[in-house]
């Protein structure tokens, strides 16, 4: 199955010059764990709840007044919508990521989280289990 089948096209973004407090508020409001950082129309990073926690740990409460660009991850791993979910799992595991940006011909088309990948994998395992159970019952 391809990433296209599990990606979330509703990508929530934030400007690089906004505050971490603003990022935290936006994540809370949308009930998500990461935001795509944009400067003008270009994707320049990704900021997650974990990034905000690390900033607060290092800088204390003043971290919330820092800008997103001060702490956002810049080395973003991207994947094509035609890539397999298995490849997404491999990239997430190898790079220890929780989110992958999905880019088609240079344009951001969605985001895939580790939760999306796990949900897909569990659905596959359930189908496989049902097929095996049905085959076993039919054989006996």
Q: Are 3 and 24 in contact (CB under 8 A)?
A: no
Task: State the pTM of this model.
Answer: 0.80
- Give how far the C-alpha of residue 8 lies from the chain's centroid of Cα atoms, to the nearest Å: 9
Residue 67: predicted pLDDT:
96
Q: State how far the Cα of 96 lies from the Cα of 35, in Å rounded to an integer.
A: 17
Q: What is the pLDDT of residues 50-102, one digit of tens each?
A: 999 999 999 999 999 999 999 988 788 999 999 999 999 999 999 999 999 99
Q: How far is CA 124 from CA 17, 30, 62, in A?
A: 41, 28, 45
Residue 1: predicted pLDDT:
83
Question: Which domains, ranges and CATH numbers included, belong to the chain?
Answer: 3-139 (3.10.580.10)
Q: Name the residue with higher pLDDT: 79 or 123.
A: 79
Quick one: which of 22, 108, 134, 120 has its CA closest to 72? 22
Question: CA triplet 121, 31, 87: central angle to 5 degrees?
Answer: 30
Q: Are 29 and 77 in contact (CB under 8 A)?
A: no
């Amino acid at each position: 199955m391809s990433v296209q089948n599990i990606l979330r096209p509703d990508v929530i973004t934030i400007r690089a010059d906004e505050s971490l407090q603003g990022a935290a508020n936006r994540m809370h409001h949308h009930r998500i764990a990461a935001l795509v950082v944009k400067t003008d129309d270009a994707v320049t990073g990704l900021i997650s709840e974990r990034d905000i926690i690390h900033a607060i740990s290092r800088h204390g409460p003043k971290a919330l007044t820092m800008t997103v660009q001060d702490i956002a991850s810049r080395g973003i791993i991207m994947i094509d919508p035609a890539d397999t979910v298995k490849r997404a799992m491999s990239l997430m595991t190898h790079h220890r990521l929780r989110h992958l940006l999905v880019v088609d011909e240079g344009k951001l088309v969605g985001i895939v989280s580790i939760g999306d990948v796990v949900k897909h994998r569990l659905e596959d395992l359930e189908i496989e289990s049902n097929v095996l159970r049905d085959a076993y019952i039919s054989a006996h």
